[in-house]
Amino acid sequence: MLTDGAPDREEACLGVAEAVAERIERRRVAPRAPWRWLAPWGPIDPRDDPKRGSRLILPSDGSSWPDIVVASGRVAAPYLARIKKASAGAVVAVFMGRSAGAFSPDLTVAPAGEGPAGALRTRTWPSRVNGLRLAAARGAPPLVAPELDGPRIGVLIDGPIGGEDAVRLVAGLRRLREQGAALSVRPPAGASEALLMALAGVAHYLWSGDRPDPYMSILGQSEAFVVTAQSTRILSDAVATGAPVMTFTPGGAPWAARRYLEALAAQGLTRPFAGTVERYAYAPPDSTREVAHAIHALVTTRAALRNDRIRRTPARTRETNGPTPR
């Protein structure tokens, strides 16, 4: 798998890789300017060129080219194209994102409907959340005491939040608590003391970073979620559970996350957070399985075509003027 190291893209690629491969190798690219600015249309950073001795995109020592490379992020697109060329087409190139530039991968995945014509358009980004992981999380020690009444609400904050945004969020969570909800809150790593203190006043469980990350436990043990619209990964993971997802959009939310949230809301997968528990149902998307099936079909088709070419190729013969040697 090939990314720029961004957690959202890495998790999406890893979800797909886990579904189709037994062995996974991560590669991260970090092109310098101006090659970073030129992506996805420009070439790779010359520093990473195999002709200059770099092994960034070459197989590990003693290994052959991988069967599949899953990449995401515009800066990874030129590297995926170079791998495809260097392997003489042996690698199945899968790209997840809006555009791979001039390169035409074997499969382009367009989450939330974005992407070029011919792309596999999935409802969400692929996710590592699945039934087995959720079942294991439900069997783990509960984050909130079982004797406490009220619906379990998971609160997932995945980016810096402060000022008026923090005041609005905490006020909404307080209204939830007053309505009887039991809140499990996961603030971002490195959250400010001011935010942690404010959340401590409303949370029944609050992760402060001094214990193992409760992320999967919150996903598995919650009946609904409040999610800040800052991370496509967390939004994807939350809707993969099939539970109601109420979204809070801070003023500084990234453009990509806002656009993705709009697509999720248009599909009826999320609703805005207004200080109350939304009750609604939807069929949880399984984009990971959808992409995995497409990859398997592609690999199977390529193998069948290759075998057919081998069968149609005439066998090599050698003529002699005399009897065949014994």
pLDDT tens for each residue of 168-183: 999 999 999 999 999 9
Q: What is the pLDDT of residue 118?
A: 85
Cα 217 to the center of its chain, rounded Å: 19
- CA separation for the pair 113, 98 (Å, rounded): 9
User: Cα–Cα distances in Å, from 127 out to 14, 91, 92?
Assistant: 8, 23, 21
Q: At CA 200, angle to CA 196 and CA 202, rounded to 5?
A: 125
Average pLDDT over residues 270-296: 94
For residue 170 the two structure tokens come to 């905490």
Q: What is the pLDDT of residue 32?
A: 96
Residue whose token pair is 């060329």: 85
Q: What is the pLDDT of residue 289?
A: 95
- Beta-bridge partner residues of 154: 184, 225
Which bin fits 181, alpha (ψ -120 to 50), beta or left (φ > 0)?
beta
User: Cα–Cα distances in Å, from 266 out to 112, 126, 225?
Assistant: 10, 18, 18
Report the predicted TM-score, pTM, of the whole model to 2 decimal places.
0.87
Which bin fits 180, alpha (ψ -120 to 50), beta or left (φ > 0)?
left
Q: What is the pLDDT of residue 192?
A: 87
Percent of the chain past pLDDT 70, that is, above it, reads: 93
Nearest to 45 by CA among 76, 86, 87: 76
Q: What is the pLDDT of residue 73?
A: 93
- CA separation for the pair 273, 173 (Å, rounded): 9
Q: What is the pLDDT of residue 248?
A: 95
Mean pLDDT over each residue of the chain, to the nearest integer: 90
Nearest to 160 by CA among 132, 182, 188: 188
Average pLDDT over residues 96-103: 91
Average pLDDT over residues 94-116: 89
Average pLDDT over residues 51-75: 91
- Whether residue 80 has pLDDT greater than 90: yes
Residue whose token pair is 């439900």: 138
